[in-house]
Amino acid sequence: MHIDESFVYFKTKQYLSDNGWTILAGEPAGGSDELPRIEIRNPGFRDKGSKGSYKIDLISQKGDVILLTEIKVTYSHSDITKLNDITSTKNAQLIAALKERLDLDISLKKIIKSLSLNNLKSSRIPYDFVCFKVGETIEVINQHLLPKD
């Protein structure tokens, strides 16, 4: 089984869909997808291009919960930093981006941060992050953070 980021992306989407999540937006590492992309722009950068902006790998919804997922083959702490930044200092931009692209108001919704990867190495997942460990099957770490069916 060849595991690269596009494989982890596909398997994560499939798992979330199978478990009642609606996939709202996505940005695969390579290639394209049928999902719209959400770009959280850097308000300090007005020129062409995406300098300083964030794109989230997967955005899903179940009821009043929005799940933000960053996808890699191997754990990277930069994904933790990114999602923490998006849900704190750039929260207003996230809300605006989803409103503009999807006509979705998430201002009153709960946001959960998550990683999806194949190789966790020896890293610890922060207590406020869900982690989908993708292999032949998917193991979920901190599953209690997710809404129950």
Partner 1 sequence: MTNNTYEIYYDAFQEGKWFQCLSKHLSDAILLPISQTDNPEVRKLLRYDKPDIILLHNGKAVISLEKTTEVPTGHNIGQRFGRIVCAAEEKVIGIYFGPFLAMKHGTYAGKCWLNVRQLRAMLKLKEFHHIPSLAVNWKCDSKYELIRNGTETDGLSSLVNRLIEHNFSPNITGVSLVEQEMGEVIDESETRRSAYKEPPPSARIISTDKYKQDKRLNGVQLPKYFFSRAKSLHYVVGMKAGLRSDPFTGMQLVYDYAYCRTGPNKEDRSINLVMEIPDLSVKDWDSVTNTERKDKRMLKLFPDLLLLKDGVV
Give 64: exposed, middle or buried? Use CB within 10 Å, 0-12, 13-18, 19+: exposed
Judged by CB under 8 A, the residue of 17, 18, 19, 39 near partner 1 is 39
Establish if 144 lies at the interface with partner 1 (CB under 8 A): no
Establish if 33 lies at the interface with partner 1 (CB under 8 A): yes
Establish if 136 lies at the interface with partner 1 (CB under 8 A): no
Q: Which stretch binds partner 1 (CB under 8 A): 6-14, 77-85, 131-139, 140-148?
A: 6-14
Give CB contacts under 8 A, 24+ apart, made by 32-39. 33/9, 36/101, 36/102, 37/101, 38/97, 38/98, 38/101, 38/102, 39/97
Establish if 137 lies at the interface with partner 1 (CB under 8 A): no
Q: How many residues bind partner 1 (CB under 8 A)?
A: 24
- CB 138, min distance to partner 1, A: 15
| Phi, psi angles (nearest 5°) of residue 53 | -95, 160
Q: Which stretch binds partner 1 (CB under 8 A): 24-32, 59-67, 105-113, 141-149?
A: 24-32
Q: From residue 74, how far is each of 5, 59, 95, 132 by CA, in Å?
A: 9, 20, 29, 12
Establish if 28 lies at the interface with partner 1 (CB under 8 A): yes
Q: Which residues bind partner 1 (CB under 8 A)?
A: 2, 4, 6-7, 9-10, 13, 28-37, 39, 41, 46-48, 100-101
